[in-house]
Amino acid sequence: MRVLVLGGYGFIGAEIVRALLRDGHEVLGLGRSAATGERLLPDVRWIAADMARLDTPEKWAPYLSGVDAVVNAAGALQDGPRDRLSAIHQMSIVACRDAMQKAGVRRFVQISAVGASLSSSTNFMSSKAHGDAAIKASTLDWVILRPGLVIGRGAFGGTQLLRMIAAIPCVEALAFPEARVQTVAMDDVVDAVRRAVAGALPARSVFDLVEEAPRSLREIVRAFRRWLGASGPTVEVDVPAWLVRPVSWAADFAGVLGWRSPLRSTAMRVLSENIIGDPAPYRRAAGRSLKSLDETLRDMPATMQERVFARASLALPVMIATLGSFWIASGVIGLLEVDRAATHLGALGEGAAKALVISASLLDIAVGAGIFWRPTARRACLASLIISAVYLAAGSITEPQLWLDPFGVLVKVFPAVALAGATALILEER
C-alpha cells in the first residue's frame, strides 16, 4: 500500500513511518520541512507542507494521488508562532477528509488523545475532538486511536518532562503528584496503527490506547528514576497549584518566543484533570492488553544516552537564560558606559571609538535576543562564538595587559564561549 503519514518525522509519526516501511508499504511523509524529513528518514519521499495552510480539498488533492491510506500523526499542544490548533487539528482535517472522499481514498487513521472532548477545558483537547468529529461524519473507513501518555525511546513534551523531573538529584518537585495517568508504550501505538492500516481493526471505531490501570504521577516519576538508575529523592516537594500558574505563564511566554516547553499551561491543565481512558475496547479488538509502564520501561533499558539527555534537558533552560541574559547585559552596560569604554579605543579617535562601542553593544543585544528567540537560537550561539573570538583578538591588540588583569577580564570570556558552544550542540528540534 502507499501510505501518506502526516507529521511523519514527529515524535509518534517517525516511529509509524519506520514500522510501515518494515511492513513493506510505500510511505510518503508530510511535514513542514522536507529537508528535516530527509535527514531523519531518508528512505521516504517527503512533502513539504504546513497543515495549517492546507485548508481546502483542492490544496490536499495533489498529495493524495495514488495514496491508499492516510495516517494523521500531526498535532500541536498549544497555539504559538508556528502552531494554530484549530487549523491543524480541525480545518485541515475537514479539508483532507473531503479531498479523500473525492479522490476515493478510503482508509484514514487518526491519532487523537485520551480525554478529547468537545467540552474539554483546553483548546488542545477540544480541537482534537472537533477533528475526530469531522472524521466520524465522513464516509471513510476510519479508525481513531486515542493514546494516553506515550512512552518511547525518544522523548517530547510530557515524556521529556518526566525524564527531566526524574533527573533532578536528591529533590523530587511535583505538581499534581496524585494525578492519575495511564501510559502507553510507543510500540503499542505503532502496532495499533499498523493494524488499522492493514484493516485488522474494525473500521469506524474509536480506541483508547492505555495500560490497564492508572497510577499516580508520583509513581510514574519514581519508575523513571529507577529506569535512569537514579537514587530515590531525599526531599519531596509538592508544588502548590498557586505556584504552578506563574511557572506555566513563564513557559507560555517562552512559547511565544518559539520554545515548546512541557510546562506550558495546556500540559499542566491536562495533567491536573488526569489522563485516563478505557482499555477494554482495544483489548477485545486486538486480543491482548497493552503494556504496563513497568513492562514498557523494562523493554527499553536506559543507557548513558538517556541519562545524559535527561540532565541536558534539565540544564538547557538555565543555559539559554544565562547566555541570553549575559549578552543583553553586556550590550546594555556598553551603552550606559560609552565614554568609559571608548577610552580603551583612544587610538581610533573619540568619534570613531564611541561609534564602535555603540555598534558592538547593539550587536551584543541582538545576539542575546537571538538566543532567546527559538528559531534563531542556534545561529545566535554560533554567532556569539565568532564575536567572542573577535573581541578577544581586538582586546589582545589594543589592551594586551588585560590578559593579566586580576579580575580576568579577557580570561572570563572563555567560559561564555564554552557555554555558547555547549548550548549550540544541545539545541535540537527533532
351-373 mean pLDDT: 92
Cα angle 371, 48, 143 (rounded to 5 degrees) comes to 110
Q: Going by C-beta distance under 8 Å and a sequence separation of 6 or more, which residues neighbour residue 255?
A: 78, 80, 261, 264
Q: What is the pLDDT of residue 429?
A: 65
Residue 329: pLDDT band (50, 70, 90) is very high
Tell me whether residue 428 is exposed, middle or buried, using C-beta atoms within 10 angstroms of its C-beta: 0 to 12, 13 to 18, 19 or more: exposed
Radius of gyration (C-alpha) of the chain in whole angstroms: 25
Cα angle 21, 25, 28 (rounded to 5 degrees) comes to 80
Tell me whether residue 129 is exposed, middle or buried, using C-beta atoms within 10 angstroms of its C-beta: 0 to 12, 13 to 18, 19 or more: buried
Domain positions in the chain are 2-302, 315-426
Distance CA 91, CA 97 (A): 10
Which residue would you say has higher pLDDT here, 154 or 303? Answer: 303
Per-residue pLDDT reduced to its tens digit, 255-299:
999 898 888 999 899 988 999 999 999 999 999 999 999 999 999
Which has the closest alpha carbon to 175: 264, 76, 259, 253? 264
Cα angle 404, 408, 411 (rounded to 5 degrees) comes to 95
User: Does the pLDDT of residue 403 top 90, yes or no?
Assistant: no
Main-chain phi, psi angles of 278, to 5 degrees: -110, 110
Single-letter amino acid, residue 208: D
Provide the whole-model pTM: 0.89
Helix (H, G, I), strand (E, B) or coil at 302: coil
Per-residue pLDDT reduced to its tens digit, 38-93:
999 998 999 999 999 999 999 999 999 999 999 999 998 888 877 889 999 999 99
User: Does the pLDDT of residue 346 top 80, yes or no?
Assistant: no
At 78, list the grid cell. 498549544
User: Does the pLDDT of residue 430 top 70, yes or no?
Assistant: no
Q: What is the pLDDT of residue 80?
A: 80
Q: For 2-302, which CATH class?
A: alpha beta
User: Does the pLDDT of residue 312 top 70, yes or no?
Assistant: yes
Distance CA 129, CA 11 (A): 20
User: Does the pLDDT of residue 111 top 80, yes or no?
Assistant: yes
Distance CA 162, CA 263 (A): 11
CA 186 to mean position of chain CA atoms: 16
User: Does the pLDDT of residue 344 top 80, yes or no?
Assistant: no
- How large a percentage of the chain has pLDDT more than 70? 99
